Amino acid sequence: MSSITSPPVVRDDTTANLSQIGQAHAILIDPATSRLLGSITYDREHGFNLEWDSKEAFKDWLDNEQTAQSIELRPSKIERGSALYTTNQIFRCARNGTGGLKLYQKKTTREWKIESKRIAGSCPSLVQIKTYPHTSVVLGKYISNHSHAIGMENLKFIRMRDSTCEMIARMVRYGKNDKDIVSDPSSDNN
């Protein structure tokens, strides 16, 4: 009958080729010069029209923007990247109707509840930033439209930061009563 022999070793050329192509591809990808989807060059040509020298510079800009507009843009999600980019992160307006929310409890007359922070619908405002493996440059795109009032009317909905407190102090110094800045009916009881 049939003798037991080792089956012939069949080299799977398809797999081998794909593997070789994959290795070659990985070596050829240079994030500094690639124009592939997700690369810094592609992003610059596809809507990422803001640019900072570093993550620190971006954070300074974000702080300033939040203070200037009386808005809160909080980290929403972050995606880890590939050979072409390191992270892809989104900051959304805190009044957008999704995501978790900590309710502030009033403790003193200088603090207030932020219980109705989230609006019924969604707010389109967001900042998207990307970082890359070969440079400290951060690219970003910014949707600055809100579906609700910003500025003074939005102050009571944002988390107070030191910079915001300073801004309010400046407004008060320029003659605005703090009741005009932040309406807090419950403070009448104190």
Using the minimum distance from each CB to Zn ion, give the nearer residue, 105 or 116. Answer: 116
Q: How is residue 32 written in tokens? A: 């500094």
Considering the complex, state which of residue 119 and residue 168 has its C-beta at the smaller distance from Zn ion.
119
| Longest alpha-carbon distance in the chain | 106
Q: Does 125 bind Zn ion (CB under 5 A)?
A: yes
Q: Which of 92, 95, 117, 130 binds Zn ion (CB under 5 A)?
A: 95
User: How far is Cα 124 from Cα 155, in angstroms, rounded to an integer?
Assistant: 18
CB of 148 to Zn ion, least distance (A): 6
Nearer to Zn ion, 122 or 135 (CB): 122
Q: Is residue 93 a contact point for Zn ion (CB under 5 A)?
A: yes
> Which one of the spans 40-48, 107-115, 124-132, 169-177 is the region binding Zn ion (CB under 5 A)?
124-132
Q: Does 155 bind Zn ion (CB under 5 A)?
A: no
Phi, psi of 76 (to 5 degrees): -110, -50
For residue 22, what is the enclosing H or E element? Answer: helix 13-28
DSSP classification of residue 45: T
Which lies closer to Zn ion via its Cβ, residue 83 or residue 150?
150
Among 92, 117, 130, 146, binds Zn ion (CB under 5 A): 146
The whole-angstrom separation of Cα 117 and Cα 99 is 12
Nearest in space to 94 (alpha carbons), one of 68, 59, 125:
125
Which residue number, 94 or 129, has a Cβ lying nearer to Zn ion? 94
- For Zn ion, which residue of 123, 129, 139, 158 counts as binding (CB under 5 A)? 123
Q: 58: exposed, middle or buried (C-beta count within 10 Å: 0-12, 13-18, 19+)?
A: buried
Q: Which parts of this chain interact with Zn ion (CB under 5 A)?
A: 93, 95, 123, 125, 146
